[in-house]
Chains A and B, each alone.
Chain A
Amino acid sequence: MSMNKRSTVYGVSLLLASLLLLQGCANKVAYQSASDVETTSIDFGSTDLQQIAAKMVDSLLSFPPIVQVTNERRPVMFVDKIKNKTTEHIDTESITDTISTRILRSGKFRFVDMTKVAEVSQQMDFQNKSGMVNQNTAAQVGRQIGAEYMMYGNLSSIVKKTKNVKDVYYKFTLKMIHLESGIIEWSDEKEIRKIREKSMFGM
């Protein structure tokens, strides 16, 4: 190979290497699909939330005694808080929001929102007591439907660490109780285990 040609090849190689280096340093923001698996860190993330919601909704709606009940009518349910027993800060309301939204959209259950009782009461007072609302159109007090079922649960975790490995196990338990009889009509669990291993170069 002549000196000229050799220097051209080296030149191109250097250019490619510098381009790769520059690319590595540049900040880049991009939209990602919310449905993609997210493994940014070992902490509780969107993929865990989606897996829990899918398992719980599928399990509840395919449980034979529940199928029988929901074939006849659309029972009313309210969702209590999910206890976060892990050491992480996790927005458990976001998990129950996803679960209740999917159950509602299945057309099998209806929900009452206990977090909005004060606002609803304030609006009812305004409609019925302020004198500003036509009483023919005002929502009548004492006609709300009581919930037949209550949903509640726990999220717990077991974390184990060594110098190079971190192992996290999550267990999400959800139960549905019949309020009048106190019987637990349905319950299920979702387990998730994640491992983070440090690579050879500590990256």
Chain B
Amino acid sequence: MEANHYFKRIYSLVFLLGLLTACSTSGIEAIGTPLDPDEKKHLLIHNSALANQVTISDMRSRTVDNGDLLEVSLTLSNLTSRDKAVQYRFSWFDGDKFEIEAGVGGWTPVSLHGKGSVSINGLAPNSSVKSYRLNVKGQ
């Protein structure tokens, strides 16, 4: 019986390690469709541990000087009092939800001071973009 108990402990530890590894690759997603008449904004949380530490807010958008490129701005805030390093990446979609310039542009590392916020700006790669997605994940 006691041996079974030890085995269970080992399996639990391995499972927990696997779970932690899985969590580190997922994060938070902010999705905006500013050119839609009923502007839709969503925040999807895939990693609740990260969402308790970091949040995305103030999703704003515009086109500069009547230009046709969508410019977006979001605020990334550290909810904890410790410095936090995260990464973010924009994805852009056309009116048919096809990703534009997929795979172009990498993850950008950003350091957030304790209880601090940073403004993240992104510019659509071309004029066909109608919606965007901002992914945030831990280091």
Whether, in the assembled complex, B99 has its beta carbon less than 8 Å from a beta carbon of chain A, the answer is no
**B89 CB contacts on chain A under 8 angstroms:** 35
Would you call A9 and B126 a contact (CB within 8 A)? no
Minimum distance in angstroms from B51 CB to a CB of chain A? 20
Inter-chain residue pair count (beta carbon < 8 A): 75
Which chain B residues numbered 104 to 138 have a C-beta less than 8 Å away from chain A?
104-109, 121-123, 125-127
A58 in contact with B121 (CB, 8 Å): yes
- B108 with A5: CB separation less than 8 A: no
Within 57-116 of A, Cβ neighbours of B (below 8 Å) are at 57-58, 61-62, 64, 67-68, 70-71, 102, 105-108
B3 with A5: CB separation less than 8 A: yes
B106 and A12: CB pair below 8 A? Answer: no
- Shortest Cβ distance from A194 into chain B, in angstroms? 10
Min C-beta distance of B110 to chain A, whole Å: 10
Chain A interface residue count, CB cutoff 8 Å, equals 31
Contact B106 A46 (CB under 8 A): yes
Q: Chain B binding site: helix, strand, loop or mixed by DSSP?
A: mixed
A159 within 8 A of B: no
Chain A residues, Cβ within 8 Å of B103: 34-35
Give me the interface of A with B, judged by CB distance under 8 Å.
Answer: 1, 5-6, 8-9, 12-13, 16, 34-37, 46-47, 50-51, 54, 57-58, 61-62, 64, 67-68, 70-71, 102, 105-108
Nearest 8 A-B pairs (CB), nearest first?
Answer: A35-B106, A5-B3, A50-B106, A58-B123, A67-B67, A67-B65, A1-B2, A64-B65
A and B contact pairs by CB, cutoff 8 A, 14 listed: A5-B2, A9-B6, A9-B7, A37-B87, A37-B106, A58-B122, A58-B123, A62-B64, A62-B69, A62-B71, A67-B67, A71-B65, A105-B126, A106-B126
Q: CB within 8 Å of A: which residues of B?
A: 2-3, 6-7, 10, 64-69, 71, 87, 89, 101, 103-109, 121-123, 125-127, 139
